[in-house]
Amino acid sequence: MSTSNGVQLYDPVTEFCALYHHTTVVVEDQLYIVQGYMQYIRNGRRKGAANPYLRFINLNDNITVAQSGEHVHVVNNRTEYPERIPATTNPILWYNLYSKQLLMFMGATVNPQAFILQDESNYNPGSPTELWVGTYRDDVQRRYTGDTNNYDRWSRSVLSSAKNPTGLLSSRTNHFDVTSQKGYIVGGWVDAKENPTNGFIVWDMFSNTWTNSSMPWTTQGDGVMGTFWIDSTRLIHVLVGGYIDGSYAAFDHARVYDTQTQDWYIQEIQGDVPAPRVNACGAVAYSSDGSSYQLYMYGGSENDDQDARFLSDLWVLSIPSFTWVLLDDSRGEYAPGTRSGASCDIVKDHILAIYGGKKSAQAGQVAQCEANGGALYFMDLNTQTWLETYDGASIQPNYSVPKPVYDIIGGDGSGGATVVAPPGGFKHDVLATIFAINGTRVINNDWTESPRPEVTSDAPAVGPSSPPTGAIVGGVVGGALLIALAVFILFFLRKKKRGIFGSSEGKTMIIINDIPVGGRSELPVHSDGGSYQQNLSVYKDPRAGYSGYYQSTVLGAPTTGNTQFYELPTSYSKPYQSATAQELLQSPQDEAESPNSATNLVADHDLPLPPTPPGAPAPQFRDRV
């Protein structure tokens, strides 16, 4: 790295030791890696700071795991990836297939990284309303290759609102659904691990609004979440683990959110239950016939203590049987081994790609570094084998249900599951309806539903303070209404045929396996074994009674009734130039910010904690290296 005043900067490539609490996303045949907390190594001593560079991997490469660092492309050109992008961990990163854009925002602030910044004045701790949009360069003069950074223009914009949230939100339990053009952020931590939130944020891209509501339980800090399309018309989120209502949730039950009824439901899970853990990662897959869905969960640590034992096991939660199956202990020669804070992605439909993660639990231990970012591992889920060599170009994208799973749920690799409900039945008839196979609904008749929260008659009507304006926004909203009407009609006809309204006709299960997921379910967990005390019953979202949303007590006060809206966005990529939300999200052409020359460098030192927002505890990531 360059020097100034005799001070040598740390090199995020050659002095790379470890990267964790980063975020990844698969875009076509590339894996993009952003942000996170990085350990640097020099003369045997580690230092911790942010990851200042964008990284990507060509998923069509022939990659030998032992030399995987040779295939990690590092974007250190500050025109392509500005130094002003906030230094955060666990930021939200979504890929929108329709606009071919990367959307990045939020995340927990990382300490001022004086020994890696070219110019300290470029340090950006981030803001709750700051959005960065990566634009795909569809240049006819440049042929696409997997070895090219196809997101070399980033624009900064602002999510405006009457009252900003009280702090940055770090949440790995999030998902962007490209079909409905909605993004979901479930819980997380505000500014630091000590401040969990009950916020449930939904972004509706059609109307360009953010809606901040609350979950029925008090707080939700992290967890592992999988998002699935059921019968091609029903989107659900399945959430396990997490720091809930002041205690750590066990993995013996799941919380299921149905986007159609806007309700939360609790379902018990069968089988051997995974040990309590934090900072695991997860990813999802479908059987080819849609008879079962799998949520994979890998690694993590027993707790957040510095001397916590790290884990190496790979578990799979099969749905709708809601059964845990231990798939592998990750101790083979080519396995990633014990690590915490890694990322999980499904590539080529059946390859689980693990990247990064922290291997050394204590600062006093000998550093277990992965030189040059060589922290990439692959498991073939079809054969349950950790690969010595991943040959991306020759891998056929066909997923098979693992044998240890179908030995329990029935069928074979292509599907045909015969165990289509938990042994004791579903705890609520809505879940039985959602997961009905061939018209069969299995309900636990002994289950008693707890009373639902009442909504008082004086609850205000909630909605946007003014309708969207302009021909573009009007067209988008009108189109959204037409799509919603068509989906409703299709849903009604399909459900009537399925016998929900009294017919006994069988149903045909249709699963759209080629819908790009967009955001991934790569989520750390929090659990130290204790269950939280609450009825395992249906949770009715209080907003349903008056078409509004219950406001989070952590992320800000309501601005319209009980609803807080964030309208997208105003561009700040060029001085004195702004763009509408639609213009920015469809084709932002603003030039990326260019870094200044290296000045004001400081000596190598342990860094202070970042500035603390009013009313929020300071981040603790540096102390946990």
Q: Where are the domains of the chain?
A: 10-140+147-426+514-545
Distances (CA, A) of 427 to 94, 322, 430, 439, 446: 33, 12, 9, 18, 9
Contact 185, 171 (CB under 8 A): yes
The predicted pLDDT at position 556 comes to 34
The pLDDT confidence band at residue 562, using thresholds 50, 70 and 90, is: very low
- In total, the chain counts a number of residues equal to 625
Residue 456 pLDDT > 60: no
The predicted pLDDT at position 458 comes to 31
The predicted pLDDT at position 46 comes to 86
| Diameter over CA atoms, the chain | 80
Give the Cα separation of 226 and 255 in Å (integer): 11
How far does Cα 504 stand from its chain's mean position?
Answer: 39
The predicted pLDDT at position 160 comes to 56
Question: Among 145-149, 189-193, 396-400, 436-440, which stretch is predicted with the lowest mean pLDDT?
Answer: 436-440
Q: Which residue has the tokens 């939100």?
A: 169
Distances (CA, A) of 525 to 195, 225, 362, 507: 15, 9, 20, 36
**Residue 4 carries which DSSP code?**
E
For 104-129, the DSSP string reads: EE--EEPPP-TTT-SBGGG-----TT
Q: What is the pLDDT of residues 275-314, one digit of tens each?
A: 888 899 999 999 999 999 999 999 998 887 778 889 999 9
**pTM for this entry:** 0.73
Buried b (16+ CB within 10 A) or exposed e, 99-136: bbbbbbbbbbbbbbbbbbbbbeebbbbbbbbbbbbbbb
Give the Cα separation of 610 and 123 in Å (integer): 11
Contact 556, 198 (CB under 8 A): no
Average pLDDT value over all residues in the chain? 72
Q: Encoding tokens for residue 475? A: 């067209």
Q: Which residue has the tokens 């396995």?
A: 335
What SS3 class is residue 598? coil
Share of the chain above pLDDT 70, in %: 63
Give the Cα separation of 568 and 181 in Å (integer): 14
Residues 6+ apart with CB under 8 A from 256: 236, 237, 238, 239, 264, 265, 266, 267, 431, 434
Beta bridge partners, 560, equal 563
Q: What is the mean pLDDT of residues 430-453?
A: 60
Q: Encoding tokens for residue 73? A: 């492309």
Residues 10-140+147-426+514-545: name the CATH superfamily: Kelch-type beta propeller (2.120.10.80)
Distances (CA, A) of 519 to 27, 112, 229, 324, 570: 10, 28, 14, 24, 24
Q: What is the mean pLDDT of residues 231-259?
A: 88
Contact 211, 204 (CB under 8 A): yes
Question: Among 82-86, 195-199, 377-381, 575-579, which stretch is predicted with the lowest mean pLDDT?
Answer: 575-579
Q: What is the pLDDT of residues 108-144, one digit of tens each?
A: 888 655 567 656 777 788 888 888 999 988 765 555 6
Contact 151, 138 (CB under 8 A): no
What SS3 class is residue 40? strand
Q: What is the mean pLDDT of residues 353-381?
A: 83
The pLDDT confidence band at residue 487, using thresholds 50, 70 and 90, is: very low
Q: What is the pLDDT of residues 25-60, one digit of tens each?
A: 999 999 999 999 999 998 888 888 889 899 999 999
What SS3 class is residue 196? strand
Determine the residue type at 21: H
